[in-house]
Structure 1
């Protein structure tokens, strides 16, 4: 529209737009068609489209939404281009899925790889930096899983799809507390092992007679905690 055709008090244009009223009846058909097309497209791209989406599935879904949403709003746009776009996205998604089944390396490069954030009660700082997971985010996720200290954790994985998997230790040992330091009342419910030391930065309990942690090189140590 030209600038001289826009008026701030033109409520008919703001609410209805520059389309005939009959178009709103047509919109009902267009919305139903697009809705069914999305359902069909998601069904053709596999079950994962109805659960958590991977990177390429999210890109496919965004492409579908951007392309086939236009015919709903534009009376001068036909429905056939939306069908063509949907078919292209579905075909591309199926080709990529076929590559995934044949090449683990291709899947790893496109989807990312699993990261071991905690190994036997010790945080893997390099994996955390690579995955862009902060100490606070890691501890918050552990608390969500019911973990109170790192001595309870055998493995903590950061999956390629962005989810976390916890494997508890069969026999827990004293470890670095993951509880907020401000919650002293709750921390006092745990047993503090005054005879031991763990690295405050990574939770490593294999502390030798040196000024730094052999795992991360930091110099701050605290007493580990365990369940009473």
Structure 2
């Protein structure tokens, strides 16, 4: 469209563009047919497309939007081209799934690996950095499962597709409280301070004594707070 063709407040151009009003009926038909084809293709890709998505599945989902848009809106393009591209996306997804099933090495490259973020109540700082997850994101995932003390946690895994898997200790012990830092009025809720035990605020490692400026053996931090234990559990001194 040339500059001279743009007339301010031209409502016909604003609403219909350069196409005649009757083209809206064709757009409706195009959209309906492409939508049906898209549903069929996604259904053929498997149930995973409707759940937590892996990296390759997310890439396919993002690509699908770019695939179907031109076929629905541009009159110069036919529907068969859009459907053919959808079929290509299906073949690609099925091919990747087959390759991942056949080769664990390829699966590791395409999907990534599971990372252990918490082990026996202690945050694995190096794994947290590799997963690009902040402490507050980790704590939010734990609080979502009604976990408010790292001492209750045996393992936290971050799955390859980004989901947290949380496993509790059979016998929870003293640990770091993980209430939201902005809510100071809830710090002692359901928690009991453990005398002569300190928790590293960086990783949650618990050590006897006040510690003060002592260096944490697990992460090297020197910032400590009093350790606590969930009140529904009895602390077993070791």
Name the TM tier (shorter chain). over 0.9
Tell me the SS of whatever aligns to 2:197: coil
* Cα distance change on mapping 1:72 and 1:136 into 2, 3 Å: same
1:200 aligned partner: 201
Instruction: Give 1:52 deviation, angstroms.
Output: 2.0
Q: Which runs of 5+ in 1 are unaligned?
A: none
Give the structure-2-normalised TM-score: 0.90
Secondary structure at 1:198 match in 2? strand
- How many Å apart are 1:103 and its aligned residue? 1.4
Contact 2:151 2:173 in 1 (8 A): yes
Let me know the Cα RMSD of the aligned residues. Answer: 1.7
For the 8 Å contact 1:207–1:214, the answer to whether it is kept is: no
CA distance in 2, matches of 1:73, 1:121: 55
Provide the residue aligned with 1:104 in structure 2: 104
What residue is the counterpart of 2:225 in the other structure?
222
C-alpha distance 33-216 of structure 1, shift in aligned 2 (>3 A): same
Name the SS of the counterpart of 1:4 in structure 2: helix
Task: Return the TM-score normalized by structure 1.
Answer: 0.94
Equivalent runs, 1:20-35 vs 2, <5 Å: 20-35=20-35
Deviation at 1:59, TM superposition (A): 1.4
Output the CA distance in 1 between the equivalents of 2:156 and 2:139: 11
CA distance in 2, matches of 1:158, 1:34: 36
The C-alpha deviation readout for 1:91-125, integer Å capped at 9, x for no partner, is 11111000110112211211111111100000000
SS in 1 for 2:117: strand
Q: SS at 1:211's partner residue?
A: coil
Aligned length: 228
> Matched residues in 2 for 1:178 and 1:46: separation?
38
Task: Select the structure that is richer in strand.
Answer: 2
Instruction: Please state how far the C-alpha of 1:207 moved relative to its aligned partner.
Output: 6.1
- 1:149 to 1:6, Cα distance in 2 relative to 1, 3 A: same
3-state SS, counterpart of residue 224 of structure 1: strand
Give 3-state SS (helix, strand or coil) of 2:217's partner. coil
Structure 1 residue 164: Cα displacement: 0.8
Structure 2: distance between partners of 1:154 and 1:177? 15
* Partner Cα separation in structure 1 for residue 89 and residue 208 of structure 2: 54
Structure 2's unaligned 5+ residue stretches are 232-238
| Structure 1 position 188, deviation (Å) | 2.3
Whether contact under 8 Å (1:212, 1:218) holds in the other structure is: yes
